């Protein structure tokens, strides 16, 4: 079965040219990359590292292995960690919940080390868990040597890997993710503001993290939602604090202005019926298992071409979930999505009379 809906194409401008070492713009719902440049090139992540640190902490909290009210005794090593700080004091006990907030809002290196030591015993052991988790998430260009992002040999990631991580953070821990939109936090009578200035400038932005070292330049992972469309942008290696926000805003505005997200088909809905040979019924309902979501150039949904390819030789019995064909969706001749078509129901083998009738029918085809 084949259908094409024709309409005039709506042109969109080419992606903006940015002054970055690497960058990427990613749609969360569809998993599609809208813009990228050097997205797989290894870069120093600076404090973007703390997104992975937070991810592991959130996993521990979700599993119940630690709690927000656990008290962490601050080690001398955590206390004396250089760079941005929450200003915890050596030997004092601090709640996990406060350390998490200090790490996210204040970018506290001291809080990051304290959490790493609390979970894994040492920052080095925690870094091994970070790298292992990155591999599990499909972050193929990442290796972590510490929980803070302070410069270290063989400590690196990529723009694409950071987009993957930020997406998983948003999907898996929506309640915890809200911390990234908190604009300030006061601890030990010291009030500090979130370094992500876009939280003040763009109401659609609600996270995630800035980063900076001399080697890494100025970096930013940002997430924003407009009209039920959520985009994640990553920029690395910009030359100034202001530039990272400017380039991020350019990326986000481009994505929201010229693209839109559509749920084309729902998982479990009947897309077609396929004939079944010698079955208790003559056909079986087929469809896809999960929603098919695509991000398209704005105004181009009507230009999609969808093809349903179904096996025409399906003998009974049919087990629900059996792959019976494919759904192919393309735009301007470019394949955008391919999904297996599955049997949405089981079909039993027919009676002897039904099987005989099917055999006779096949003789005269």
Catalytic pick from 22, 30, 50, 142? Answer: 50
Catalytic pick from 22, 75, 107, 223? Answer: 107
183 is catalytic: no
What sign has the CA pseudo-torsion 58, 63, 67, 68?
Answer: positive
Catalytic pick from 47, 142, 158, 233? Answer: 47
107 is catalytic: yes
Q: Which of 118-127, 137-146, 326-335 has the lowest mean pLDDT?
A: 326-335
Q: Model confidence over 340-362: pLDDT tens digits?
A: 989 888 777 655 454 444 443 44
Q: Where are the domains of the chain?
A: 2-8+18-261, 266-363
Q: Model confidence over 243-254: pLDDT tens digits?
A: 999 999 999 999
* C-beta of residue 184 within 8 angstroms of C-beta of residue 192: yes
Tell me what pLDDT residue 347 has.
Answer: 73
**Check: CATH 2.60.410.10 for 266-363?**
yes
Tell me what pLDDT residue 283 has.
Answer: 81
47 is catalytic: yes
Q: 42 pLDDT band (50/70/90 cuts)?
A: very high
CA dist 80 and 97 (Å) reads: 21
∠ CA 295-171-229, rounded to 5°: 30
Tell me what pLDDT residue 280 has.
Answer: 73
Neighbours of 166 (CB within 10 A): 26
The answer to whether the peptide bond before residue 201 is cis (omega within 30 degrees of 0) is: no
CATH topology of domain 2-8+18-261: Beta-lactamase (3.40.710)
Instruction: Tell me which residue has tokens 């592991």.
Output: 56
Tell me what pLDDT residue 358 has.
Answer: 44
Q: Model confidence over 135-177: pLDDT tens digits?
A: 999 999 999 999 999 999 999 999 999 999 999 999 999 999 9
**Long-range pairs of 71-79 with CB within 8 A, sequence gap ≥ 24:** 71/95, 71/96, 72/96, 72/99, 72/114, 72/115, 72/117, 72/118, 74/110, 74/114, 75/113, 75/114, 75/117, 77/113, 77/117, 77/123, 78/110, 78/111, 78/113, 78/114, 78/117, 79/110
């Amino acid at each position: 079965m084949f259908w094409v809906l024709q309409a005039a194409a709506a042109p969109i401008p080419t992606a903006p040219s940015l002054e970055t070492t690497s960058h990427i713009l990613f749609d969360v719902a569809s998993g599609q990359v809208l813009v990228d440049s050097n997205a797989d090139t290894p870069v120093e992540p600076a404090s973007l590292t703390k997104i992975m640190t937070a991810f592991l902490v959130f996993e521990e909290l979700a599993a119940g292995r630690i709690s927000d009210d656990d008290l962490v005794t601050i080690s001398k090593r955590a206390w004396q960690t250089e760079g941005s700080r929450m200003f915890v004091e050596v030997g004092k006990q601090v709640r996990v919940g406060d350390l998490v907030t200090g790490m996210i809002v204040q970018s506290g290196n001291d809080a990051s080390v304290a959490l790493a030591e609390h979970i894994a015993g040492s920052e080095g052991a925690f870094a091994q868990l970070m790298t292992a988790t990155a591999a599990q998430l499909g972050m193929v260009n990442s290796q972590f040597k510490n929980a803070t992002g302070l410069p270290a040999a063989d400590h690196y990631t990529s723009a694409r890997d950071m987009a993957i991580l930020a997406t998983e953070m948003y999907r898996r821990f929506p309640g915890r993710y809200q911390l990234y939109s908190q604009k300030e936090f006061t601890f030990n009578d010291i009030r500090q503001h979130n370094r992500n200035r876009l939280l003040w400038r763009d109401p659609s932005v609600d996270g995630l993290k800035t980063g900076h070292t001399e080697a890494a330049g100025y970096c930013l992972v940002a997430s924003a939602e407009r009209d039920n469309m959520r985009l994640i942008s990553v920029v690395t290696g910009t030359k100034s604090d202001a530039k990272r926000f400017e380039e991020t805003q350019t990326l986000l505005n481009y994505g929201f202005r010229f693209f839109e997200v559509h749920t084309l088909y729902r998982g479990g809905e009947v897309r077609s019926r396929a004939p079944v040979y010698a079955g208790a019924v003559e056909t079986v309902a087929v469809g896809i298992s999960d929603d098919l979501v695509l991000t398209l150039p704005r105004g181009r949904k009507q230009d999609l071409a969808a093809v349903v390819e179904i096996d025409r030789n399906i003998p009974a019995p049919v087990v629900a979930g059996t792959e019976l064909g494919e759904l192919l969706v393309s735009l301007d001749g470019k394949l955008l999505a391919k999904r297996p078509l599955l049997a949405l129901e089981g079909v039993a083998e027919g009676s002897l009379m039904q099987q005989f009738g099917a055999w006779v029918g096949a003789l005269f085809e």
